Amino acid sequence: MQNIDHVVIGAGAMGSATAWQLAHTGRSVALLEQFGAAHNKGSSHGGSRIFRLSYRAALYTDLAARALVDWRELEADTGTHLLEQNGQLDHGYKEAIDEIGVSLDRYNHPYERMDASEAHARWPGMNFEDHVIYSPDGGRCLADKTVTTLIERSRELGVDVHLNTPVLTVHLDGDHAIIETQTQTWRTPSLVVAAGGWVNKLVGHLVKLPELIVDAGQPAHFQPIPSLKEESLWPSFLHHGANGRGGSPLEASAYGLYTPGEGVKIGTWSDRAAIDPDNRDFAISEKHLGEMKEYVSHWFPGLDLATAVATTCLFTNTPEEDFILDRRGPITVCSPCSGHGFKFVPTIGKITAELAMGGTQSTPQWRLPN
């Protein structure tokens, strides 16, 4: 059995960012991942993810502004370009767009308001619903590149990285956690669980968790028509449809962004059944793909429907779609994978590392239940 300062389970974006932050403190850290680096079985894979400051909830606008600084810190530390600010569009019903304007005003972030016809004239590959905000600070994070960069930098800083190493058991021994794999056992006063859809399986018997719903989203990539291939014509976007998914300020009816080499990624929220991440068939739903094409045919005249390539990824949501970032005893739970977490990666790593070193969570929305 090896005694160690910190063990992090999950080497996706959040776990590897946490390990990177902890390594900078000089503490001993082991990073465990049941699959390979940047694998396609969880929530962190893919060419890119949306970066935006334009949230209806001011909490996340503030967090994104902090993350922008931390992304640049990560880039400087690794010498790797990971965040591109090519703009973010939000459109939809007035109340949602007004709330975004209030959040951006609160922190003095620049933006432009326009109507649907003005926006279409500027971005002719897209149609818009009623009210539009353009935020020049938005853009995209390079997802796979971020994960592999964080893992490699963590290793350079002394983190003991174990890929393709499933955790068999986790149990408590007083104020320490015991983590067992097939070949090794660690004893630590600080276990971080950043395992996405596997959090409940790993520590649900040790920590009271909120309701977690794991399902498989099915976005698709489409190629722009020949006359609209210029990358500047495709900012990242969120569509806040009036017939959206409920009313939470974290909900929207569709999202998308351009990924170099892959095309324009579009995601919509269809009704999806909860799944077991260990018994997932990765099948593409033709029903959902048909719904996606119907959406794209109306809202994206600049995309070629015949080029659709669908994929799947895990979403792990609390009912409110807020994060879980909190500590109980020796266990810190890091689960910001509600479909909007990637843009905060280096900042989530920093917050989680602080919790793992004995800090407390001051944001009520992110606390574990008592």
Give the tokens for residue 177.
């956690």
Q: Where are the domains of the chain?
A: 2-366
- Residue 316 is which amino acid? T
- Note the pLDDT tens digit of each residue in 4-19: 999 999 999 999 999 9
Q: Concatenate the DSSP letters of all residues of 35-87 into one string.
A: S-TT-SSSSS-SSEEEE----SSHHHHHHHHHHHHHHHHHHHHHT---EE---
- Note the pLDDT tens digit of each residue in 204-216: 999 999 998 898 8
- The mean per-residue pLDDT over the stretch 252-277 comes to 87
- Note the pLDDT tens digit of each residue in 42-77: 888 899 999 999 999 999 999 999 999 999 999 999
Structural contact between residues 60 and 99, judged by C-beta atoms closer than 8 angstroms: no
Output the average pLDDT for the chain: 94
Give the tokens for residue 100.
């975004």
Any idea of the CA torsion for 354, 349, 33, 218, to the nearest 10 degrees? 140
- The mean per-residue pLDDT over the stretch 180-200 comes to 97
Q: What's the pLDDT at 341?
A: 93
Q: Which of the given ranges, 31-45, 234-248, 292-306, 314-328, has the highest pLDDT on average?
A: 292-306
Q: How confident is the model at residue 245 (pLDDT cuts 50, 70, 90)?
A: very low
Q: Which residue has the higher pLDDT, 338 or 45?
A: 45
DSSP conformational letter for 338: S
Q: Does domain 2-366 have CATH number 3.50.50.60?
A: yes
Q: Concatenate the DSSP letters of all residues of 16-40 into one string.
A: HHHHHHHHTTT--EEEE-SS-TT-S
Structural contact between residues 139 and 83, judged by C-beta atoms closer than 8 angstroms: yes
Q: Concatenate the DSSP letters of all residues of 211-266 into one string.
A: --EEEEE--EEEEEPGGG--GGG--EEEEE-TTSSSS-TT--SEEEEEETTTEEEE
Among 42-46, 133-137, 290-294, 357-361, whose mean pLDDT is lowest? 42-46
**Among residues of the chain, what percentage have pLDDT more than 90?**
84
Among 23-32, 192-201, 243-252, 257-266, whose mean pLDDT is lowest? 243-252
- Note the pLDDT tens digit of each residue in 124-145: 999 999 899 999 999 999 999 9
Sheet holding 2-3, edge to edge: 2-3, 185-188, 176-181, 167-173
Give the tokens for residue 96.
């949602």
